[in-house]
Amino acid sequence: MRNRNTKIVATVGPSSSSPEQLRALFDAGVDMFRLNMSHGTHDDHRKRFEAIRAMEKETGRPIGILLDLQGPKLRVGTFAEGPVTLVNGETFRFDLDNRPGDKTRAYLPHPEIFAAARPGVQLLLDDGKIRMEVEEHGEDYAIGRIITGGVLSERKGVSVVGAVLPLAALTEKDYRDLEFGLENGADWVALSFVQRPEDILEAREIIGDRALIMSKLEKPAAVERLAEIVEASDAIMVARGDLGVEMQPEEIPPIQRRMIKMCREYGKPVVVATQMLESMIHTPTPTRAEASDVATAVYEGADAVMLSAESASGKFPVVAVEMMSRIVTSVEKDPDYKRILESTMPKASATIADAICSALRQTADILPLAAAVTYTTTGSTTLRAARERPLVPIFCLTPSTETARRMSCVWGVSAIVTRDLEKVSEIVAFATDAAKGTGVAKDGDFIAVTAGMPFAQSGTTNLLRIFQIGDR
Between CA 170 and CA 202 the distance in angstroms is 8
Locate the domains of the chain by residue range.
7-71+170-333, 84-161, 352-468
What's the CATH number of domain 7-71+170-333, 3.20.20.60, 1.10.274.10, 3.30.420.80, 1.10.580.10? 3.20.20.60
Active-site hit among 48, 131, 216, 387: 216
Peptide bond into 454 cis (omega under 30): yes
DSSP tag of 281: G
Fold observed for domain 84-161: M1 Pyruvate Kinase; Domain 3 (2.40.33)
- Active site includes 389? no
- Cα 76 from chain centre: 29
Is 216 among the catalytic positions?
Answer: yes
Short-list 112, 49, 116, 118, CA closest to 75: 112
Q: Note if 34 is an active site residue.
A: yes
**What pLDDT, in 10s, does the model give residues 294-313?**
999 999 999 999 999 999 99
Q: What is the pLDDT of residue 459?
A: 65
The per-residue DSSP string of 208-226 comes to TTSSEEEEEE-SHHHHHTH
pLDDT given at position 472? 44
CB 432 within 8 A of CB 447: yes
Residues in the chain, overall count: 472
* Below-70 pLDDT ranges, the chain: 456-459, 471-472
Specify whether the backbone of 256 is left (phi greater than 0), alpha (psi in -120 to 50) or beta.
alpha
387 is catalytic: no
Between CA 467 and CA 435 the distance in angstroms is 13
CA torsion sign for 262, 349, 214, 112 is negative
Task: State whether residue 371 is helix, strand or coil.
Answer: strand
Catalytic member of 46, 53, 73, 75: 75
Which residue in the list 6, 11, 274, 376 is annotated as catalytic?
274
Inter-CA distances, 195 with 215, 271, 272, 345, 396, Å: 10, 18, 18, 28, 33
DSSP class per residue in 151-178? EE-TT-BEEEESS-----SS-HHHHHHH
Domain 352-468, CATH: 3.40.1380.20
- Give the whole-angstrom CA distance, residue 172 versus residue 305: 30
The per-residue pLDDT for 128 is: 87
